[in-house]
């Protein structure tokens, strides 16, 4: 199997994003290897050696997706036996022409601490303090409040919204009590413009709950069916926008919620 | 100010990664606007309209960073007044030649649910259940255990490791008790090969704590100084690898920890 390398003088997150996007276009399997913080010539030599070794072991030239600022370091890495893809290189010149400014590359430019960094950490802290309905008194600060049955993906989605976009995302589990009279609690009603629902296919919910509490009422198909049907009715009755999380990743759920709820991305 | 658009038929996360990496090379400010899920011609027309409007308002042509699968939709968007940058396009041909296979683009290819998706959600659940020392009985399952004084960045870093890389990351706050005899607790000793320390500059720690509990002993410069100095001694005495989080983002901390602790990335 061919090896794909993601190499950078920084975190290599950009190289990974670039490489994964390219490779996902092809129906092939690769071994993946990330080599971050290659920021001096010694490390670059070692990196070159690792790439050449992969060539020997695989019997096929590795691919190298890289983003480097320092050309000497870059030249050492690209002098290896790997096939080199450098997406910055290709776009820098046309962008310089369009922007009328020379590029001024700095290491750790993309994923270093920005001005709004504290904002994201505050959002993570908010999200943890308002996870799973543990507190409802700070909903006035929330950017969004996800609601839904237990195990529909609320917590990971909220954490992703906070970490990636600096969104203060609370979440509240709708329980038997709330469903009995098919109503929203007072705290939720007071912030209904911030509510966003999650739902999930019943079979999927049952299998997730079964893993948590095998053979409980909580994990029974009947219980899951009852909850999902009542909760979806509640969403419709209250005109709460909602998404089905069954086939969506946290990235997709977060991006869809941001889009549908018109939330501003704070990261940049 | 010029507007930068990030447009895609999927989450637009790849367009954002691409565009942010490019723009971070230039010492200029932009307005940022993401338009995800542009997956039919109607939406593409609306998107084209939004881009043209930005041109009128800004008086300068917007930049469009995009990744599209469907060329008809792409053509509508790129027929706008914006300057179009398409990084997939440029690299597809050379990669097809090298791989000897035609690209088979699918929507939501990059950030959809992969086989290992549950793995990441499990890691998030593990990380939440093992945050801040609330439980130490499942450390045998941990991939890594972050330790450090209160407010050194352990929790956001653990969450990022879990969400981005599927790493089961526990964290444990070192408190006055542990420091009294400068020793690790039994649970930590049993898993010492998994320990990774965080530290932080004293002034920064004081300012973070001051925001949490103004004018408390906890937030005093003396207390912060004492804790950090004792904890760094502990790291050295026990040969625990550690990083200073003062000037590092969660992305950088996570990537450095992965690298130094030789953790495998589970995402791909």
The secondary structure of A13-51 as a DSSP string is HHHHHHHHHHHTTSS--EEEEEE----SHHHHHHHHHHH
Tell me the CA end-to-end span of chain B in Å, nearest whole number: 38
Q: Is the Cβ pair A159, B105 closer than 8 Å?
A: no
- If asked whether residues A124 and A13 sit together in one domain, one would say no
* Closest by Cβ to B99, choosing from A26, A112, A159: A26
- Residue A110 placed within a domain: no
Q: Answer yes or no: is pLDDT of A116 > 70.
A: no
- If asked whether residues A47 and A180 sit together in one domain, one would say no
- If asked whether residues B121 and B95 sit together in one domain, one would say no
8 A C-beta contact, residue B65 and residue B12: no
B149 is in an annotated binding site: yes
User: CA dist A82 to A2, A53, A56, A61, Å?
Assistant: 10, 10, 11, 5
8 A C-beta contact, residue B181 and residue B174: no
**What pLDDT is attached to residue B185?**
87
From the CA of B195, how many Å to the nearest CA of chain A? 21
- If asked whether residues B182 and B127 sit together in one domain, one would say yes
The last residue of one of the domains, among B99, B126, B143, is B99
From the CA of A190, how many Å to the nearest CA of chain B? 27
Flag whether residue B8 sits within 8 Å of chain A, measured between CB atoms: no
- If asked whether residues B121 and B223 sit together in one domain, one would say yes
pLDDT in tens, A27-36: 899 999 999 9
- If asked whether residues A61 and A168 sit together in one domain, one would say no
Q: Is the Cβ pair A17, B22 closer than 8 Å?
A: no
Strand, coil or helix: A63:
strand
Q: Is the Cβ pair A156, B121 closer than 8 Å?
A: yes
Distance CA A229, CA A233 (A): 6
Q: Which residue of A has its CA nearest to B123?
A: A156
**What pLDDT is attached to residue A185?**
87
* ipTM of this complex prediction, to 2 decimal places: 0.84
Which chain B residues touch A20 with a CB distance below 8 Å? 110, 268
**What pLDDT is attached to residue A89?**
83
Flag whether residue A24 sits within 8 Å of chain B, measured between CB atoms: yes
Q: Which residue of A has its CA nearest to B30?
A: A268
- Residue A233 placed within a domain: yes
pLDDT in tens, A230-259: 999 999 999 999 999 999 999 999 999 999
- If asked whether residues A131 and A89 sit together in one domain, one would say no
Q: What is the mean pLDDT of residues B59-75?
A: 93
Least confident of B4-8, B207-211, B263-267: B263-267
More confident residue, A2 or B24: A2
- Residue A105 placed within a domain: no
Structure confidence at residue A109 as a pLDDT band (50, 70, 90): low
The last residue of one of the domains, among B99, B129, B157, is B99
Q: What is the mean pLDDT of residues A146-169?
A: 94
pLDDT in tens, B71-117: 999 999 999 999 999 888 888 888 899 999 988 877 666 666 655 67
- If asked whether residues B95 and B216 sit together in one domain, one would say no
Any idea what the CATH number is for the domain that residue A252 is in? 3.40.50.300
Q: Is the Cβ pair A103, B250 closer than 8 Å?
A: no
- Residue B112 placed within a domain: no
8 A C-beta contact, residue B17 and residue B67: no
B155 is in an annotated binding site: yes
The last residue of one of the domains, among A72, A99, A126, is A99
Please give the share of chain B, as a percent, with pLDDT higher than 70.
95
- Residue B158 placed within a domain: yes
Q: What is the 3-state secondary structure (H, E, C) of A145-166?
A: EEEECCCCCHHHHHHHHHHHHC
Residue range of the domain that includes A223 = 117-260
Which chain A residues touch B113 with a CB distance below 8 Å? 247-249
Distance CA A40, CA B146 (A): 28
Average per-residue pLDDT in chain A? Answer: 90
Q: Answer yes or no: is pLDDT of A127 > 60.
A: yes
Distance CA B224, CA B207 (A): 10
Tokens of B191: 């898993």
* Closest by Cβ to A159, choosing from B11, B91, B124: B124
- If asked whether residues A78 and A157 sit together in one domain, one would say no
Please give the share of chain B, as a percent, with pLDDT higher than 90.
71
- Please report which helix (H) or strand (E) contains residue A89, including its range: helix A87-99
- Number of structural domains, chain B? 2
Least confident of A211-225, B103-117, B119-133, B191-205: B103-117
Q: Answer yes or no: is pLDDT of B211 > 80.
A: yes
Flag whether residue B265 sits within 8 Å of chain A, measured between CB atoms: yes
Give the CB-side neighbour count of residue A128, counting CA atoms within 13 A: 17
What's the sign of the alpha-carbon dihedral A165, A168, A173, A174?
A: negative
Tell me which residues of chain A, numbers 165 to 204, contact chain B at a CB-CB cutoff of 8 Å.
none
Distance CA B211, CA B206 (A): 9
DSSP for B58-90? Answer: HSSPPEEEEE-S-HHHHHHHHTSSSEEE-HHHH
- Residue B246 placed within a domain: yes
- Residue in the block written with tokens 């035609």: B102
pLDDT in tens, B116-162: 677 888 999 999 999 999 999 999 999 999 999 999 999 999 999 99
8 A C-beta contact, residue A21 and residue B67: yes
Taking each helix axis from N to C end, the angle separating B87-99 and A13-23, rounded to the nearest 10 degrees, works out to 60
- A213, burial (CB in 10 Å: exposed 0-12, middle 13-18, buried 19+): exposed
**What pLDDT is attached to residue B268?**
44
Tell me which residues of chain B, numbers 219 to 248, contact chain A at a CB-CB cutoff of 8 Å.
247-248
Which chain A residues touch B265 with a CB distance below 8 Å? 32, 34
**What pLDDT is attached to residue B115?**
56
- Residue B109 placed within a domain: no
Structure confidence at residue A54 as a pLDDT band (50, 70, 90): very high
- If asked whether residues A124 and A252 sit together in one domain, one would say yes
- Residue B268 placed within a domain: no
From the CA of B259, how many Å to the nearest CA of chain A? 7
Q: Answer yes or no: is pLDDT of A182 > 80.
A: no
- If asked whether residues A248 and A123 sit together in one domain, one would say yes
Return the DSSP state at B191: T
* Closest by Cβ to A105, choosing from B25, B110, B247: B25
Please give the share of chain A, as a percent, with pLDDT higher than 90.
71
Q: Answer yes or no: is pLDDT of A115 > 60.
A: no
Q: Answer yes or no: is pLDDT of B233 > 80.
A: yes
- If asked whether residues A132 and A239 sit together in one domain, one would say yes
Please give the share of chain A, as a percent, with pLDDT higher than 70.
95
Angle at B164 between CA B159 and CA B168, to 5 degrees: 55
Structure confidence at residue A179 as a pLDDT band (50, 70, 90): confident
8 A C-beta contact, residue B114 and residue A36: no
Strand, coil or helix: A171:
strand
pLDDT in tens, B27-48: 899 999 999 999 999 999 999 9
Residue A37: left (phi > 0), alpha (psi -120 to 50), or beta? left
């Amino acid at each position: 199997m061919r090896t794909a390398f993601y190499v950078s003088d920084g975190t290599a997150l950009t190289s990974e994003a670039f490489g994964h996007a390219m490779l996902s276009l092809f129906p092939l399997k690769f071994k993946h290897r990330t080599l971050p913080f290659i920021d001096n010539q010694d490390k670059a030599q070692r990196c070159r050696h690792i790439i050449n070794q992969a060539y020997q072991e695989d019997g096929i030239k590795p691919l190298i997706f890289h983003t480097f600022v320092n050309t000497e370091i870059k030249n050492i890495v690209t002098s290896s036996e790997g096939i080199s893809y450098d997406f910055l290189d290709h776009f820098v010149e046309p962008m310089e022409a369009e922007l009328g400014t020379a590029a001024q590359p700095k290491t750790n430019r993309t994923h270093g601490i920005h001005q709004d960094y504290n904002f994201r950490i505050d959002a993570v802290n908010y999200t943890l303090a308002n996870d799973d309905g543990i507190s409802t008194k700070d909903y006035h600060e929330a950017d969004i409040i996800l609601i839904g049955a237990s195990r529909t993906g609320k917590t990971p989605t909220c954490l992703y919204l906070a970490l990636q976009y600096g969104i203060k995302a609370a979440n509240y589990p709708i329980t038997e009590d709330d469903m009995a009279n098919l109503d929203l609690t007072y705290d939720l009603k007071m912030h209904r413009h911030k509510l966003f629902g999650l739902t999930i296919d019943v079979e999927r919910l049952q299998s997730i709950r079964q893993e948590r509490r095998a053979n409980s009422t909580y994990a029974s198909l009947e219980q899951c069916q009852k909850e999902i049907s009542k909760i979806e009715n509640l969403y419709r009755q209250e005109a709460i926008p909602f998404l089905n999380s069954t086939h969506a990743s946290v990235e997709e759920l977060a991006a869809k919620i941001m889009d549908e709820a018109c939330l501003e991305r704070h990261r940049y």
